[in-house]
Structure 1
């Protein structure tokens, strides 16, 4: 089984032998009904990226600075993880997700969005393959230039960088040092992965989108190409099963009234 309609905010490959597969692989992303206000999320990422690049003027992107921490790094980690949470919530809201409390006094009650947490968000990994994305930083001294921010989810582990965000958010005085450079870069890479898993490298900014990127680059040999904002390089998952892929001709589907489906996360 494959899917004859794209899901909201869920980029996945289209079967290569399908009609108009090259066009169908990306054209639905820029349709208005695919996602609500996508530019709201990509703009936030671009602003964060700009501020992180300014940080690189003072903290060199290198292995030896991995444990560096400061108020500026702390601030950027907070902002980045807030954006990650916003994207997770947008994905769940635009599909189907109505969880209920399983234990305690509120068992059986609907769990409202304000109470969603990382355990709710983790379900998105099953539909977006977040744990199979890799990010490469183009300027980096050392061996830590490639990040796989969601890799620990492959074995149902915790995200160290997200734990650092929570610790330093709730107790900055005693956990200030965990909001360090490494956790910031992992979170930044994680936000890039999460956006890419929804929009490929479309930034929804004014002007034409170059969806079919061509040309040569000094960086990123073997990687899939530059992501949103043209700084981080993204290596896309290659392990999608045939039954997980999309199978539609967007030249025909785009003329229909019901062009998009919804993932029922309650059944996953």
Structure 2
């Protein structure tokens, strides 16, 4: 048995997986599950993430306002181009939270670059979190556009249309107001939901206590519950075996820092 860089375990020349979790990084295990046998509980470790409940709370407030918006704009293909000041406000708030989460992931994994970080930096998170593979389902959607893939363009290092719209409307709302539309908002909120899941699975860090993560509840639609209980997710499965987590519940030592930092390039 040989131990390689980044806590990869090598047995008889074959790399098995990553034996110590990365900070703020939820990932599939070598048995192709995310949560079997209590292995998901590393996300509750005090050294895993700084103030995760604050990031979740910000999302829950946004989701609450989006669901209220659904009282006036039906979640439907027919309304994708609808734009308004209320949608613009929610788009701005959501993208600020996307930036906050990306910054936290990079910072807590030891990423350093002088100057202000931007989407060129945030895009590096695709290396560790496989965000381009997340699919997010909007329940009760009327039409064919109810399943969103908000980070799909990162698979080819492309830009995010909804984030570009956020920047355009932030810097010149008058000329770009039509980009503050329902479709961009839904993609942004779906992206934030996926980004949180890529760190915390479906744990909301409620004072009521922990629950089972990535549980099988809900409709039999191939999707999993999300933080906040509204959106439904498909998690990444196309992860190299050498990059999957490979440790058990007994390896999660809550009295010591068991985490490693991801080396972003």
TM-score (norm 1): 0.88
- Counterpart in the other structure of 1:145: 146
Give the Cα separation in 1 of the matches to 2:158 and 2:148: 16
Q: Does 1:5 align with 2:4?
A: no
Shift in Å, 1:173: 1.0
Instruction: Using the TM superposition, give the Cα deviation of residue 154 of structure 1 relative to its aligned residue in structure 2, in angstroms.
Output: 1.1
Matched ranges for 1:142-181 at <5 A: 142-181=143-182
Q: What residue in structure 1 maps to residue 57 of structure 2?
A: 43
- Deviation string 1:1-32 (CA, Å, 9 cap, x unpaired) is 422111110000222299xx823531100111
Gap change, CA 1:173 and 1:227, over 3 Å in 2: same
Asked whether 1:238 is paired with 2:252, we answer: no
Structure 1 residue 211, shift from structure 2 partner: 1.4
Question: 1:196, 1:249 → 2: CA distance?
Answer: 20
Alpha-carbon RMSD: 1.8
Equivalent of 1:78 in 84, 92, 101: 92
Structure holding more strand per residue: 2
How far 1:216 moved relative to its partner? 4.9
Question: What is the number of equivalent residue pairs in this alignment?
Answer: 249
TM-score w.r.t. length of structure 2: 0.89
> Separation in 1 of the partners of 2:215 and 2:26?
20
Q: Which residue of 2 aligns with 1:263?
A: 262
Are 1:5 and 1:248, in contact at CA under 8 Å, matched by a contact in 2? yes
User: Which range is displaced more, 71-80 or 22-31?
Assistant: 22-31
Q: Distance in 1 between matches of 2:86 and 2:50?
A: 31
Equivalent residue, structure 2, for 1:55? 69
**Deviation (angstroms), 1:220:** 5.3
- In structure 2, the residue matched to 1:186 is 187
**8 Å Cα contact 1:42-1:195 kept in structure 2:** yes
1:14 aligns with 2:14: no
Aligned equivalent of 1:108:
none
Residue equivalent to 1:127: 128
Q: Work out the CA distance in 1 between the residues paired with 2:56 and 2:261.
A: 22
What pairs with 1:59-70 in structure 2 (closer than 5 Å)? 59-70=73-84
**More relative contact order, 1 or 2 (CA 8 Å, 6+ apart):** 1
Instruction: Supply the distance in 1 between the matched residues of 2:155 and 2:29 (Cα, whole angstroms).
Output: 23
> Which ranges of structure 2 fall in alignment gaps of 5 or more residues?
1-14
Mapped contact 1:13–1:25 kept (Cα < 8 A): no
CA contact (8 A) 1:136 1:220 kept: no
Name the CA distance, whole Å, in 1 between partners of 2:105 and 2:32: 28
Aligned to 1:28: 42
- Secondary structure of residue in 2 paired with 1:25: helix
Following superposition, the deviation at residue 215 of structure 1 comes to 6.2
Go from structure 1 to structure 2 and tell me whether the alpha carbon gap of 1:255 and 1:231 turns closer, same or farther (over 3 Å shift): closer
